[in-house]
Amino acid sequence: MDRITANHVTGSGKAMVQLSGNTAKITVTASGLVGGASPHAMHIHVGGGGVCPKPSEAKDHNGHASINVADAMKDYGMIGTSLTTSGDSTPNSALAVTRFPSGSTVDYSRTLEVTDDVAANLKSGKAVLVIHGIDYNGNGKYDSVLGASELDKKLPAEATDPALCGAFTTSQMASMPNGAADTGDGATQAHGTNTGMVAGGSAAALIGLGAGGYALRRRSATAR
Ligand SMILES: [Cu+2]
């Protein structure tokens, strides 16, 4: 996934969706996020441009250049599915802070029913995964350095601003070989990685974050 660098994010993550009809098996892993008791809202966003915001889209928030959820709405669209840990997963649970992963790492896996709209966006490459919750001023917790959240005035903006973002790309399992050759090409490698995670079921679509996300992960691995 891409770091929202304008929000001083240093973490990284990856995600995959295995879609069969409207049933989506979703896995998300991330690390380097705000730790402690900080919940990280996670959503599949749909209906936008199917892309992540660029650093140049930062705006002034409480005197600090940063990107809030609304600033990037045209890029990634509205919330389609809330990746809660239990219960409701509709946009109604967008900020159900007690039902999202919390702490610096995310290791999420859940099978959910998604709407026709979300399924269509996943298949057409217009779905974007966003993990929220940043630590702009680096003090290890959410505070009001960027003011209140534009989504819920009771929450600090740091709690809802986007941290990691990745546009989903689709692979049809039926057309994929078992274990693509490692040609050194990032796209092909990412494809092969996806293939390796497929257990079976030729009718399902496997949807992962694109080659860019993979390259980012490689860079992260060598930088640490
Ligand atoms: Cu979101």
Return the domain boundaries, the chain. 2-170
What end-to-end distance do the CA atoms of the chain give, in Å? 17
- Of 49-58, 84-93, 172-181, least confident by mean pLDDT is 172-181
Q: What is the pLDDT of residues 15-55, one digit of tens each?
A: 999 999 999 999 999 999 999 989 999 999 999 999 999 99
Strand partners, 208: 16, 169
Q: Residue holding tokens 């930062």?
A: 58
Give the pLDDT confidence score for residue 172 in this predicted structure: 61
Q: How far is the CA of 148 from the centre of ligand 1 (A)?
A: 16
∠ CA 145-219-187 to the nearest 5 degrees? 115
Q: How far is the CA of 195 from the centre of ligand 1 (A)?
A: 27
Q: How far is the CA of 175 from the centre of ligand 1 (A)?
A: 31
Class of domain 2-170 as given by CATH: mainly beta
Q: DSSP of 24-86, one letter per residue?
A: EEEEEEEESS--TT-B--EEEEESS-S-PPPGGG-EEETTEEE--TGGGHHHH-EEEEE--SS
Q: How far is the CA of 43 from the centre of ligand 1 (A)?
A: 4
pLDDT category, 222, cuts 50, 70, 90? very low
Q: How far is the CA of 20 from the centre of ligand 1 (A)?
A: 23
pLDDT category, 193, cuts 50, 70, 90? very low
Q: How far is the CA of 128 from the centre of ligand 1 (A)?
A: 9
- Between CA 94 and CA 160 the distance in angstroms is 10
147: nearest Cα among 60, 33, 70, 39: 60
